Chains A and B, each alone.
Chain A
């Protein structure tokens, strides 16, 4: 399965600032997704990162708040903009291949964000 490097692993940020999280994969992958996991909660899908086009956002998430880039098949970034304490969470990227779903989707190690 693909190996994912996600950076930073954690950060403490001031409210009103922005943080960009990077997800680098060791091979080309068709599907890349970004999730949020709030303390004690399960994973919530933020968006599907589409290569060469705008990301597809889930209900409750908007591009102005969570801009996503995916310039190629091995890399994506998620920016958390104009942060508030409510954005404190773990953010994870996930990758997969449509023809290899029996191998599951792989997750990055996550970025633990604290907004103060």
Chain B
């Protein structure tokens, strides 16, 4: 089965850094995805980690530790448009994605 835990909500100031943690337990793990979802829109792909370590993509970075069942998404130089929900999704057997409850990030001026 799947067990995914991430904070419900985080608030940060424009220009700051926010780190969203995700812990998971999943069978047949085959990588960790992060998605962004703005209210009323479909999720959009942000990052994928299959090996341990940090993957950097512009202002967004994602980290994975497979042995600890742990990942984080790091958002730097926050902008107002980054206010959204961020979804942690471990890939599992059958290439299925199961999503965590999502972390709602509110960026304040």
Given contacts A101-B48, A104-B48, A107-B43, contact A42 B99 (CB under 8 A): yes
A113, CB-defined interface residue at 8 Å: no
Residues of A within 8 A of B (CB): 1, 31, 33, 41-45, 48, 56, 92, 94, 96, 98, 101-110
B12, CB-defined interface residue at 8 Å: no
B94, CB-defined interface residue at 8 Å: yes
Query: B104 → chain A, closest Cβ, in Å?
Result: 10
Classify the secondary structure of B's interface with A.
Answer: mixed
A residues within 8 A CB of B91? 101
| Alpha-carbon distance between A43 and B87 when the two chains are bound, in angstroms | 9
| Alpha-carbon distance between A94 and B99 when the two chains are bound, in angstroms | 13
B33, CB-defined interface residue at 8 Å: yes
Q: Which of B85, B87, B95 contacts A101 (CB 8 A)?
A: B95
* Minimum CB distance partner of B101 in chain A: A42
* Minimum CB distance partner of A94 in chain B: B97
Q: Can you pick out 17 interface pairs between chain A and chain B where the beta carbons lie within 8 Å of each other?
A: A31-B95, A33-B97, A42-B85, A42-B87, A45-B96, A45-B97, A45-B98, A101-B50, A102-B50, A104-B45, A104-B46, A105-B33, A105-B45, A105-B97, A106-B45, A107-B43, A109-B41
